[in-house]
Amino acid sequence: GQNIDQPTEMTATEGAIVQINCTYQTSGFNGLFWYQQHAGEAPTFLSYNVLDGLEEKGRFSSFLSRSKGYSYLLLKELQMKDSASYLCAVRDTGGFKTIFGAGTRLFVKA
């Protein structure tokens, strides 16, 4: 079956580093995405991994291990505005269906 797991909630302190993990089991794999969604708003794209390794983009980095069905999103120098839900999503091969995880709600405290 298709399954994406990520923690429900995480709390971190302003200025710190936080790692949000995502494990997936899908019938096919054609890329993993991370999106940020603030409450009441639409998701916005953060990163895309299709090959193993680390992709860095400013304060945000995303890692992928296809053999382990595992990814993480790393947020550095946390800011209060980073408080949001972070969605892990996997695109399937046949039909390009994208499966989303339930999201991880990140709370950044002062």
Partner 1 sequence: EAGVTQSPTHLIKTRGQQATLRCSPISGHTSVYWYQQALGLGLQFLLWYDEGEERNRGNFPPRFSGRQFPNYSSELNVNALELEDSALYLCASSQHNEQFFGPGTRLTVL
99 sits near partner 1 (criterion: CB under 8 A) = yes
Q: Work out whether 100 is an interface residue with partner 1 (CB under 8 A).
A: yes
What is the rounded CA–CA span in Å between residue 91 and residue 7? 20
Residue 86 near partner 1 by CB under 8 A: no
Give, as ranges, the residues between 30 and 69 that touch partner 1 (CB under 8 A).
31, 33, 35, 41-45, 48, 50
Q: How many residues bind partner 1 (CB under 8 A)?
A: 22
Q: Are 12 and 110 in contact (CB under 8 A)?
A: no
CB atoms within 10 A of CB 109: 11
- Residue 56: CB atoms within 10 A of its CB come to 12
Does position 25 interact with partner 1 (CB under 8 A)? The reply is no
Question: Quick one: CA dihedral 51, 100, 21, 76, positive or negative?
Answer: positive
> Using CB under 8 A as the criterion, which residues of the chain lie in contact with partner 1 when the complex forms?
31, 33, 35, 41-45, 48, 50, 87, 89, 91, 95-103
